[in-house]
A and B are shown apart, each in its own frame.
Chain A
Amino acid sequence: MAKERIQQRRDWRAESAAFFLNHRAVCLLTATLLAACAVLGFLRPPMAKIRAQISPRFVRESGSRYSEAKVNLLVIGIARGRNVKTGDTETYVGFAGKIFQADLNRELDLKAKAEKAEKERGETVRAPLTKTERREYQRQKLLENVADIVLWIPPLLDGSKITVSLTILSTLTGAFLSIFMALGKISKFKPLSKLCSAYIFVFRGSPLLMQLFFIYFGLPLINPNLNIQDRFTAAYIAFTLNSIAYMAEIIRAAIQSIDKGQFEASKALGLTYGQTMRLVVIPQSIRRLIPPVANEFIMVLKDASLVSIISLSDLAKVTQTISTTSGKVLVYIPSIAIYLIITALFTFIFNRLEKRFSIYQ
């Protein structure tokens, strides 16, 4: 036993060593980035100091209409005070030992906009920006964008919490329950098989949006006891029911792709149907299941945006809200980046799983 454990530890070591060797560039880059982050994080001015830059006069003048946002991203810290009525802001960015103001100068902004409008209309520009003004304008614009993006990150992450937890929970539950649905569908007991086929037909054949709508709004109308108070629970139920249907088909296809000889050998050795499935067929199907299940997972991740119809704020909904309230379309860039990071992470996990389950080949 002990020997086996040592062997396993050695395998693990060899495996990770091989991983570092094969991904040398990625590993070096990650290490460099981490080191840079540590240095920059150490150099960043404390949040209290950044916050203190917002002028007391601005706060006083804004009075009850004053609101404040602070974001601490380790390497970068931002504090923004806002007068909700006028829309004026005072924003300070702390980065690498310095604190910058990151607001567009209102006059400069108006001047730049006027210039742009005149150019578009083909008129002669009455008051062009000077060279220094233009450089200053570009610098401010950039800083403002950076500040915006950083300030959006916390609400976006809040939204992605819902997206990710809904996806993971519903696909995990769905994957587990769909095994039974698949076995039901290939069962020789006709009523059961028909019932499972009908379930799959209904939940795969109708839009998830409508299923979600029906479960949250429709069920209470049929019977008040079926009222699901919690929106997340309602979404979880709808997504699970839907992914059972999809994954049951994936599992059925994987089971039926297993060589007939495996069933025959099991039968000749006296294994029951249940044992054959549990010990022989399903373990072999898992490797074939992983790629389509990963696909399904990513589909669900994106379909999670449908929960906005029952007023749940997932990543897509938060993005949309920010974009409409602030009028800044730029928010779609960090939002898409977050989606891609989540997808990349899970693709990596699924790839590792697939390797793990194909050791015997």
Chain B
Amino acid sequence: MTDPLVEIKDLRIHFFTDEGVVRAVEGIDLNIKPGKTLCVVGESGSGKSVMALSLLQIIHKPGQIVDGQILYHRGRVAGGQFSQNGAVDIASLNRKGRDIRSIRGAEIAMIFQEPMTSLSPMYTVGNQVMETIRLHEKGISKKEARERAIDILRRVRIPKPERLIDEYPFRLSGGMRQRVMIAMALSCTPSLLIADEPTTALDVTTQAQILDLMLELQQEFNMAIMFITHDLGVVAEIADDVAVMYLGNVVEYSDVDTIFNAPEHPYTQALLRSIPKISATRQPLDMIEGMVPSPFRRPGGCPFHPRCTQALASCSTVVPSLTTLHENHIVRCLLHEETGEEVPRG
């Protein structure tokens, strides 16, 4: 097993609102492997986006990391550009400090869901792409930065990048904007790219193009990708590993084949059943019963128990711990606690 690039350990993120505390992320343990794609799947409100933002320490107020570690191992990049060894705990860095800023954009980059609003309409594409380059590569001249920007725009398959670099984002199509976002993120060859539902706002054809592009560039740049999505079709297409989240917990984690072929957690099973299938017989679509509970009323015990069809009496009181079923297959469910082996807490 390869050493992880990022280790998330017992991460807890709470939002302190006037109405009460929202426990958006409630004890996540997760590894991101260098050069691989990790898909994080979950319904809205599962905490997947918040978790992604925490990797760069850009959670919005009143959100706050209250506990846990995000260990980032600089040395463990497959290409080995970074010589420093040892881990940085991102969770402990000052969110406005120099240390986290030198990681943002340069080593861990992020692209967002809405390509329409994620770029400022006030500045040209070139301005916004070059900004990242000039920020992290000291001493680079304006002209060099521009050439680099054109080069990276070309690599994300933008036609006529020399001309487009002086365009304003609002004059581009959604797909083009998302390419610009990707170019911006890749401009400093990060070792981890976080993509928060980057294709949700795009139409299906563009979506496929963007996904292909990302996979291609992943090979080229040799970077890890953490891909946040609720679309299982996308997961099947791009993931190496999958983490399924529910109400601030990772309930199941494994490689993509295991998740799709032999899921163990009732929630994962239910999710997979809810994918529409093309079959000869018409049958009603399986749905997960009930709704995601209000964030203020997180159920006790296993948070999924009110909707779980296989729930035991103890599920409403006992918090299940992480259980390793096989190598690279972890599940958080009481049904499997006896059969598996408890993951030792780091």
The answer to whether A and B come from one shared complex is no
